[in-house]
Structure 1
């Protein structure tokens, strides 16, 4: 029964990967490096899934040499995910070179580690499946191969996952400095899936350790398989449907804006004060905050203030990024609408410029101190002034 559930889980995962690969390989309009690395990540995941299916379905009895064949291929997973993330977040196509060639290290190490096991004959490998027929020396080779390849995989892939997560953190920070809405721009979905993958592979390592000690927990194995399947399906779906990210600035602007909060001010305090007043005036007078597509570039074009000066004023004078600056004004207008109109929460969110209820709720709670529904209920029972005093 356990093998049946495991087969179902990994078959679903394989189907999800195959469907995503078909779409990625046939659609147009995507930058070549992004499609390439996404497909490589899918192929590495497919190798892992097929490797598990060879075991749980009993297919190894008919093709013993397929056992362990996935170990080298899935070493590409970590680097492929990292390069896919880098390509998504880069305006220009990054050059492949330098330390990027370390991608070959993992597969080479695993290939060397698996050579002793690969040299066993089909009959010798089949004999390992039955304790009564296995050769102790051959079994030690199998244990060594599993342990060495697992350690290399976890260390190698872990390094690339950490690097990808750091890329996403920096990218999200840039998006918050540049846009008032960051859904589908900040790549938060990628961070979540990378963390799920990291957790799943940690538990996969625990599963392998239990196997080495002769212990198997069916419920644990099934839960792990379905967790992997959900993460793989989510990665395949979201990766296929990830839109091209907007390019709002050149490399020089990007570096200047990213360093605005860390460097010493270029503008005088008086100049930043005047700039801040101009920005606030533009937001309030023209209700620019209600534009769901408002960006740093758009505000710069409207006000005539350069993007670098806006970023420096926000970070050095007001102590906020562009995202929080705009959303604080949206929250103020949302407070008025919640207390004076009968618009529901979602309608209020759209009216003030948010694209989703979840983003509105999070931003409103951050800037006001209570969720929108709670604010509306309390303001109508206590009055706006009493509620403001209670919240602050």
Structure 2
């Protein structure tokens, strides 16, 4: 069980790291949108930990006023955290960063929290003390209504986070599917760390739900303070480690690619042109070995064969029946099979020789095609008959 000094150290570290990360993001001159969006997320994290930091306030009256102020900031940060994180995910998975549609929906609960916070700060002192301390009676009239609305908003925060988790998961699924339409190696761009954030924050959300349930129901279950503190610090560390290195992964040209085959209906691509592109694509892989380039993209392939990226995408989908990712990897796997069968190269050497960026992605792709691991395949083709 953690002592209060350790909890104070964790809270101070969380607040300081969040503030430092936000300032660092604001100083960036490249990829401004993603860094500004990340800075907003980090500031929301700071807002939720402001009241846990052991600020050196000696005057009791000043300490009470600060605690009330920190509680107001906590509520605003709590309601803003999920929409801001959703906005950050949207920015780094978009071709052209822009504000999401119907932004008022995402801003609604944070705005209500801001209004309630302003009402608390402007209500009479005795009313504030009645809402936030046990030394004064509960206020009546509109101050009581503000307090009840704040309690309801905390309950809504639980529902809000669940809704945003679903939205983020759907966004990542669409993004990863689109990513395979133009890049042949996705392991460095799949944003798996966002999935880790979702898992940890969901556990963090569960802890908060238990705390809220204990406050508004007869339940006696309580969550140790150190769990909340460790979750908060862990989330912030992951955000800083990966967020500060993350760049938008979708190339600007991805904006011109159709999202579905139905959008090819107005295309000027003729069957003869598609057949010619198909031959060029197969020659680029079979003769020129372009699949061995780990950074191969739809646009570099388009430059190589002298065809429009849109036409290549349409040809792959309609004539060949593969995504760009699957088409390139089919040649990589075929190449790897020959090397496993005819050479003594190690699996790791073959992994990089045929164009994969990691052994794990090679194993996954190889097993998907052959139903065997590379080692098992080598053993089967070299076994005596």
| TM-score, with length taken from structure 1 | 0.79
Deviation at 1:209, TM superposition (A): 1.0
Whether contact under 8 Å (2:180, 2:323) holds in the other structure is yes
1:293 aligns with 2:265: no
Cross-structure match for 1:335: 337
Distance change (3 Å), C-alpha of 1:52 and 1:365:
farther
Whether contact under 8 Å (1:10, 1:52) holds in the other structure is yes
CA distance in 2: counterparts of 1:293 and 1:135, whole angstroms: 67
Whether contact under 8 Å (2:47, 2:76) holds in the other structure is no
Whether contact under 8 Å (1:117, 1:141) holds in the other structure is no
1:73 aligns with 2:77: yes
| TM-score, with length taken from structure 2 | 0.80
The total of aligned residue pairs comes to 372
Distance change (3 Å), C-alpha of 1:211 and 1:11:
farther
Deviation at 1:33, TM superposition (A): 2.5
Aligned positions of 1:200-349 closer than 5 A: 200-212=204-216, 213=218, 215-218=220-223, 222-245=226-249, 247-249=251-253, 251=255, 253-254=256-257, 256=258, 258-260=259-261, 272-273=274-275, 275-349=277-351
CA distance in 1: counterparts of 2:94 and 2:187, whole angstroms: 17
CA distance in 2: counterparts of 1:294 and 1:158, whole angstroms: 37
1:108 aligns with 2:125: no
Whether contact under 8 Å (2:211, 2:223) holds in the other structure is no
What is the aligned counterpart of 2:182 among 170, 178, 182?
178
1:187 aligns with 2:199: no
Structure 1 gap ranges (5+): 387-392
Cross-structure match for 1:390: none
Secondary structure of 1:226's counterpart equals helix
Distance change (3 Å), C-alpha of 1:231 and 1:337:
farther
CA distance in 2: counterparts of 1:377 and 1:223, whole angstroms: 49
Whether contact under 8 Å (2:161, 2:205) holds in the other structure is no
CA distance in 1: counterparts of 2:108 and 2:85, whole angstroms: 16
Aligned CA-pair RMSD: 3.7
Distance change (3 Å), C-alpha of 1:366 and 1:270:
farther
Distance change (3 Å), C-alpha of 1:141 and 1:363:
same
Q: Deviations over 1:25-47 (max 9, x none)?
A: 3333x233322221111100111
Distance change (3 Å), C-alpha of 1:8 and 1:248:
same
